[in-house]
């Protein structure tokens, strides 16, 4: 009996001490509030690598890639290519399987971006006699520069290293003609041509006598310059690249009959537009709806993180601080579970001790 007591007592004490220590210890499954999103911990090293600060991340994001080709050289290539196309001397370069394989393996590095009209008579790559991966092309009726078109050009400049941006209109443009004639348009077309109306209005104010073909011709040019102005005044990415000399925005009008391009050069008011700064609200505003009220859209990055321009957005999991209010509840629940397990262990240890004492007593 005394032997059993000597065996059972230390066993119970050890179990009590170990279980109590374990029950009161914090759970390693619950990360402290500051641990999520502010430091990346490597279990194979002793040091903790802090995540870059927001300012550093913004600076890295703003760092643009090297320009694939100097804007002036890029423009020369387009002029030469159009000359070949115009006179029936197109080479149709870089359209073979080798070029497909190359661009598949290493990605695209277009040397120029073009906003052109969706008109089927204006095939952009053919007009400039360029091949696969050479041009970053946006085609839309009336070659307008709305939210989607500007965002696409920003991708070309900010991520692909495109240095030359061309806004290309063309003769007898149906979208421009519709606006000059006040034609009835319906559905989403009405929203689209709202981008063209300011150009037509500018021509009418400058040349009140303009009518018919002359009004259309002048409006086509003015519409090209309107899109150029929209790019410069509504895109921080484009404006910054132009100011630094990394990018160049030029306009042109393609002649459907001759195949030639009338180059308009840079916007005549470019310096004044850049000096006026970028309209921050334009980055979050789409075209107006048919009733005239602008439709707001969040910037692409706001879907995953907090807005830079105000408002609160729940961070994506693993990329931001965990909501502090959820931590104490989780920790308290874990501790409560630990104590429940402790009770079960104590019951098991007590039953084991009684069984041991009973076994030893019966042997005596």
Quick one: pLDDT at residue 279?
87
Using 50, 70 and 90 to split pLDDT, how confident is the model at 286?
Answer: very low
Is 281 a member of any domain?
yes
Task: Evaluate whether 162 touches 136 at the Cβ level (below 8 Å).
Answer: yes
Quick one: pLDDT at residue 29?
42
Is 121 in the same domain as 158? Answer: yes
Is 232 a member of any domain?
yes
Quick one: pLDDT at residue 54?
42
Euclidean distance between CA atoms 35 and 362, whole angstroms: 57
Q: What percent of the chain is modeled with pLDDT above 90? A: 58
Is 216 in the same domain as 348? Answer: no
Is 73 in the same domain as 164? Answer: yes
Q: What percent of the chain is modeled with pLDDT above 70? A: 59
Quick one: pLDDT at residue 335?
60
Euclidean distance between CA atoms 334 and 59, whole angstroms: 41
Lowest mean pLDDT among 110-124, 220-234, 281-295: 281-295
What residues form DSSP beta bridges with 137? Answer: 114
Is 257 in the same domain as 353? Answer: no
Using 50, 70 and 90 to split pLDDT, how confident is the model at 68?
Answer: very high
Euclidean distance between CA atoms 305 and 319, whole angstroms: 8
Please count the structural domains in the chain.
2
Euclidean distance between CA atoms 159 and 356, whole angstroms: 74
Is 9 a member of any domain?
yes
Domain that holds residue 257: 67-299
Is 93 in the same domain as 226? Answer: yes
Instruction: Provide the 10 A C-beta neighbour count for residue 329.
Output: 9
Quick one: pLDDT at residue 33?
36
Name residues whose C-beta falls within 8 Å of residue 229's C-beta, 6 or more positions apart in sequence.
267, 269, 273
Is 18 in the same domain as 167? Answer: no
What's the rounded mean pLDDT across residues 124-151?
98
What's the rounded mean pLDDT across residues 120-147?
98
Is 47 a member of any domain?
no
Is 80 in the same domain as 7? Answer: no
| CATH for 127 | 3.40.1050.10
Using 50, 70 and 90 to split pLDDT, how confident is the model at 281?
Answer: confident
Residue 252 has pLDDT above 70, yes or no: yes
Task: Evaluate whether 224 touches 203 at the Cβ level (below 8 Å).
Answer: no
Angle at the Cα of 130 (from 125 to 131), degrees rounded to 5?
95
Is 52 a member of any domain?
no
Is 251 in the same domain as 133? Answer: yes
Is 16 a member of any domain?
yes
Is 178 a member of any domain?
yes
Is 267 in the same domain as 354? Answer: no
Euclidean distance between CA atoms 227 and 223, whole angstroms: 6
Name which residue leads in pLDDT, 107 or 336: 107
Name which residue leads in pLDDT, 336 or 364: 336
The rounded mean pLDDT for the chain is 76
Is 172 a member of any domain?
yes
Lowest mean pLDDT among 15-19, 27-31, 77-81, 87-91: 27-31
Is 145 in the same domain as 236? Answer: yes
Euclidean distance between CA atoms 293 and 251, whole angstroms: 30
Q: Determine if the pTM surpasses 0.85.
A: no
Q: State pLDDT tens for residues 309-346.
A: 333 333 333 333 333 344 445 555 666 666 665 666 66
SS (H, E, C) the chain: CHHHHHHHHHHHHHHHHHHHHHHHCCCCCCCCCCCCCCEEECCCCCCEEECCCHHHHHHHHHCCCCCCCCHHHHHHHHHHHHHHHHCCCCCCCCCCHHHHHHHHHHCCCCCEEEEECCCCCCCHHHHCCCCCCCEEEEECHHHCCCHHHHHHHHHHHHCCCCCEEEEEEECCCHHHHHHHCCCCCCCHHHHHHCCCHHHHHHHHHHCCCCCHHHHHHHHHHHHHHHHHHHHHHHCHHHHHHHHHCCCEEEEEEECCCCCCEEEEECCCCHHHHHHCCCCHHHHHEEEECCCCCEEECCCHHHHCCCCCCCCCCCCCCCCCCCCCCHHHHHHHHHHHHHHHHHHHHHHHHHHHHHHHHHHHHHHC
Q: State pLDDT tens for residues 208-249.
A: 999 999 999 999 999 999 999 999 999 999 999 999 999 999
Is 171 in the same domain as 256? Answer: yes
Is 246 in the same domain as 354? Answer: no
């Amino acid at each position: 009996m005394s032997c059993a007591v000597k065996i059972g007592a230390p066993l119970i004490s050890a179990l009590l001490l170990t279980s109590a220590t374990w029950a009161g210890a914090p759970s390693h499954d619950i990360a402290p509030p500051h641990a999520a999103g502010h430091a990346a911990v490597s279990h194979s090293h002793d040091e903790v690598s802090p995540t870059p600060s927001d300012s550093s991340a913004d600076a890295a994001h703003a760092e643009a890639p090297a320009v694939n080709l100097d804007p002036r050289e890029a423009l020369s290539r387009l002029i030469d290519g159009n000359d070949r196309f115009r006179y029936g001397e197109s080479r149709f370069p870089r359209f073979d399987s080798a070029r497909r394989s190359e661009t598949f393996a290493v990605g695209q590095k277009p040397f120029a971006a073009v906003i052109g009209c969706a008109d089927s008579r204006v095939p952009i790559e053919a007009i400039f006699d360029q091949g696969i991966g050479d041009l970053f092309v946006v085609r839309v009726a009336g070659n307008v520069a709305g939210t989607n078109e500007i965002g696409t050009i920003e991708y070309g400049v900010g991520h692909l290293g495109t240095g030359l941006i061309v806004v290309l209109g063309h003769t007898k443009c149906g979208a421009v003609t519709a606006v000059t004639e006040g034609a009835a348009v319906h559905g989403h077309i009405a929203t689209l041509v709202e981008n063209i109306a300011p150009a037509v209005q500018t021509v009418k104010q400058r040349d009140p006598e303009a009518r018919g073909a002359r009004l259309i011709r002048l409006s086509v040019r003015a519409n090209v310059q309107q899109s150029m102005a929209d790019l410069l005044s509504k895109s921080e990415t484009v404006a910054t690249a132009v100011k630094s000399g990394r990018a160049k925005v030029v306009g042109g009008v393609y002649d459907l009959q001759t195949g030639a391009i009338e180059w308009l050069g840079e916007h005549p008011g470019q310096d004044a537009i850049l000096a006026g700064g970028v309209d921050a609200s334009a980055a979050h505003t789409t075209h107006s709806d048919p009733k005239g009220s602008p439709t707001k859209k969040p910037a692409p990055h706001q879907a995953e993180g907090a807005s830079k321009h105000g408002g609160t957005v729940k961070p994506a999991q693993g990329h931001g601080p965990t909501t502090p209010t959820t931590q104490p509840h989780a920790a308290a629940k874990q501790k409560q579970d630990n104590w429940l397990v402790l009770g079960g262990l104590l019951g098991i240890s007590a039953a084991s001790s009684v069984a041991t004492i009973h076994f030893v007593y019966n042997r005596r």
